[in-house]
Amino acid sequence: MALLDSHVFRGLASFVFSLAVVLCPGRSSGDVAASELTVELGVSGVWKLGHAVPARITLPPELAGQAQYVVFESIDGDGVNVRYQQKISGVSSENSDFWMTVRIGRNKTPLSVRVYDDEPSEGEPVASGQLLGDEVVGLPSDQRLVLVLGETMGLEEVVRSSVEGGASFTIAQVSQAKGLPIDWRTLAGYDLAVLSSAGDELINSLTEPQIACLDTWVRRGGRSIVCLGTGEPLPEILLKWIPGEVEGLINVRNPGAIEALVPTEFPLRNLAVNRIGFPAGEVPPAEILLALRSGNQSLPWWISTAYGHGKIDVIASDLANDTLAQWPDRNLLWKKLVGDSLGANRGDESPLAKNVSDTSYLGYDDLAGQLRATLDVFGGVRVVSFGQLAAVLLGILVIVGPVDYFVSVRWLGRPQFSWFFAGAVLVAACIALTWFYLSIRPNEIRVNTAQIIDIDTRSGDVNGSLWAHVYSGTARTVDVQVVDNQAESVGATLQLDWQPLPGRGLGGLKSMQSLSSGMPAYSVIASSGESNAVSVQGVGVPAAGTKCFSSTWLSHTEIVGQSELQELDVADQLSGQLVNPLSVDLREPALFYHNWYYSLDSRIPAGGSFTIAPDRIPQGITRRLNRRRVIDDADMITPWQPADRGNLDRLLELMMFYSAANGPTYTSLHHRFHHQLDHSHLMDSDLAVLIARVDDPWASVQVDAGGQGGVEVVQETDRAWCRILIPVKPPERELSRFRADGSSR
């Protein structure tokens, strides 16, 4: 009987299980699909902690038409779980790959991905995948990183070798077009991109979003080296980047100028060089750093040009051709080519290594850390120092100790009274401290922001970077969004995410400590609307604490006026009419050109102008950046204090021109995390840079306390600086020479 009951039970169980499978096919297919969902981080598996990371997700082909949303669960720099959510688009059964952008704040932390066929809040995932802790290992946030499309052309010969300044770097090589992401933010952690037209098959197979990704990254301040091979025609993106026309190959028998560029004992012979021509009778729109002789011709071989706020170096030969590939000192040539992008101007000089130890007590060794510490200072929040707290505790001990003894024993002669006296003192102290704590802790939400806006007057392109700190007196969850305030802006694309802190300090990316304090997971949700705006929802802010955010955006604005500036024939200086190209007033403006800066009026109104006379004498750029002063016939530099938290304007200025200010030795801090903001390379171009503060911020942060009605949001610090590119005409002497020659080749 027992055996019969067992068989009946098993049969009934099998029937129920089969019925469940039939009635729930969606759940079953999801379980099967979960094992097929794959996730790849970075470019060729290379990515950096704290920076935007491209995640390529591959769906099973049968889910390509069903999947609607994806949720990527990561962890931020404070150890709090963060969910990135976006709508899936552009997938099909033939191509089921898609990209999303995330940030990862801790190494060796399990990550998960879930795909839904409806709103994530309304259903179960149809597929899921997970990356185990051992699979989540990124590079340090300050690691040098080079993107190579196609062949490395021998660049690997100098990887992790000593270049100018002792820098080392890692190569992320893209060998197939599908390996390049489509979001320019995922390239922000790269120091350099290297392309070769010899790999035109790879470059020509890039999609429009991938080309736009590369192009936008360079325009925002990225640097690229383009090597010209023998392939024809040139890919579209290279036609935009090369400041001239490629007119064919010439065999240079004796390229001695290259041998003179590096210390070598090995001669070069018979090098294929692309002839690059410029419009006849015009000054070349680029700087020719090295030219080779072939007969009576001068062939530009190394050309440097500004592209937006970035820089492109064009090499007229393929560094992978047989002549250079067999040259024993090709690695020395590479060191010379990449030294400017990966070496001294990025803050790796040996003096800095000695100075950083002096600032280790601060908990940061990067300007990003000082920026974060500065924005953490709120004028409406009173901070109690450790010394003040120690003084209060010492005072209580004195009262319940010697004072209690003197009053109870020596004066009143009633030792038993000591119990009542000490108890009353402690109760009163608790009440007083509670009242004091509530009085210095504001109930409202307070916000500090800083932003740098880059504007190119030639194209009207605008790109910005913003940092925001949100303070709350009580623990609460908030929703945060960044909005564009400019009515003239067109097609604004804004992004928002948590703000990383490089280093080993408390809350740093290298710190193993978690500051989550039980904070709930929050979501970073990409809008599917035309603005592509991103909001952060349900983020927890601890009591009397802050949560830090960073934002970037792209837009286009109307230029209301163009400047007419020209370089003088002597002294490398300017004259002409400087025009405010914006519809807002410019405060505290300064004009930079080459190694000079011009002090201007304290305010230039919207559309207003300022005349720079030929006899106006500028000052050296370090007079402004390092605050050089002459005191008692001695040239003195105002020292920079890495611990200073009260000079936000100067800090932003140093971030914009770190190398020009000799930042490593001057600040004793690195500038690696936001290195793309350092546009000191523009000092070598034929562009003037106008910096100024604006009263009305270009973008603003909106904070919503959700269901907690009546909570006031107070905007405290809100500093916005513009960096405006202005073209400069060449000197009249140079113009006359090229007009007389009838050619600029």
Question: How much is the average pLDDT of 224-247?
Answer: 85
pLDDT grade for 739, boundaries at 50, 70 and 90: low
Question: Would the pLDDT of 157 be above 90?
Answer: no
pLDDT of residue 244: 86
Question: Would the pLDDT of 112 be above 80?
Answer: yes
Could you give the domains of the chain?
A: 26-135 (2.60.40.1930), 144-346 (3.40.50.880), 386-440 (no CATH), 564-687+726-736 (no CATH)
Burial readout 178-217 (b: 16 or more C-beta within 10 A, e: otherwise): ebbbbbbbbbbbbbbbbbbbbbbebbeebeeebbebbbbb
Give the tens place of pLDDT for each residue, 535-590.
Answer: 999 999 998 889 999 999 999 998 989 999 999 987 789 999 999 999 999 999 99
pLDDT of residue 490: 65
Burial readout 10-35 (b: 16 or more C-beta within 10 A, e: otherwise): eeeeeeeeeeeeeeeeeeebbeebbe
Structure tokens at 557: 């604005």
Structure tokens at 180: 């390049």
Question: Would the pLDDT of 2 be above 80?
Answer: no
pLDDT grade for 463, boundaries at 50, 70 and 90: very high
Q: Cα separation of 404 and 411, whole Å?
A: 10
Burial label, 148 (beta-carbon count in 10 A; 0-12, 13-18, 19+): buried
The SS3 call for residue 410 is helix
| Residue pair 470/549 in contact by the 8 Å Cβ criterion | yes
Give the tens place of pLDDT for each residue, 662-717.
Answer: 999 999 999 999 999 999 999 999 999 999 999 988 899 999 987 666 788 999 99
Question: Would the pLDDT of 719 be above 90?
Answer: yes
Give the tens place of pLDDT for each residue, 245-268.
Answer: 888 889 999 898 999 998 888 988
The SS3 call for residue 644 is coil
Question: How much is the average pLDDT of 194-204?
Answer: 84
pLDDT grade for 441, boundaries at 50, 70 and 90: confident
Handedness of CA 334, 336, 340, 344 (dihedral sign): positive
Question: How much is the average pLDDT of 342-357?
Answer: 48
pLDDT of residue 710: 73
What is the Cα 729 distance to its own chain's centre? 32
Mean pLDDT, the chain, whole residue set: 84
Q: Cα separation of 497 and 83, whole Å?
A: 11
pLDDT grade for 422, boundaries at 50, 70 and 90: confident
In 3D space, the residue among 485, 507, 484, 480 whose CA is nearest the CA of residue 496 turns out to be 480
Q: Bigger pLDDT: 302 or 5?
A: 302
Structure tokens at 701: 């942060």
pLDDT grade for 102, boundaries at 50, 70 and 90: very high
**What residue has token string 């200086």?**
573
Cβ atoms within 10 Å, residue 564 = 14
Burial label, 605 (beta-carbon count in 10 A; 0-12, 13-18, 19+): exposed
Question: Would the pLDDT of 4 be above 50?
Answer: no
Q: Cα separation of 180 and 32, whole Å?
A: 29
Question: How much is the average pLDDT of 129-134?
Answer: 88
pLDDT of residue 349: 44
Q: Cα separation of 424 and 573, whole Å?
A: 76
pLDDT of residue 162: 45
Q: What percent of the chain has pLDDT over 70?
A: 86
The SS3 call for residue 205 is coil
Q: Bigger pLDDT: 635 or 720?
A: 720
Phi, psi of 225 (to 5 degrees): -115, 125
Question: Would the pLDDT of 423 be above 60?
Answer: yes
pLDDT of residue 742: 47
Question: How much is the average pLDDT of 68-85?
Answer: 93
Burial readout 476-499 (b: 16 or more C-beta within 10 A, e: otherwise): bbbbbbbebebeebeebbbbbbbb
Q: What is the pTM of this model?
A: 0.87
In 3D space, the residue among 203, 104, 74 whose CA is nearest the CA of residue 147 turns out to be 203
Question: Would the pLDDT of 350 be above 50?
Answer: no
Q: What percent of the chain has pLDDT over 90?
A: 50
Question: How much is the average pLDDT of 87-93?
Answer: 84
pLDDT of residue 194: 95
Range among 7-16, 149-158, 395-404 rated most confident:
149-158
pLDDT grade for 164, boundaries at 50, 70 and 90: very low
Q: Cα separation of 469 and 447, whole Å?
A: 6
Question: How much is the average pLDDT of 151-165?
Answer: 72
Question: How much is the average pLDDT of 8-36?
Answer: 37
In 3D space, the residue among 366, 296, 329 whose CA is nearest the CA of residue 675 turns out to be 366
Q: Cα separation of 471 and 543, whole Å?
A: 9
Residues near 669 by Cβ (< 8 Å), separated by ≥ 6?
A: 347, 356, 359, 364, 365, 366, 367, 369, 370, 642, 663
| Residue pair 506/461 in contact by the 8 Å Cβ criterion | no
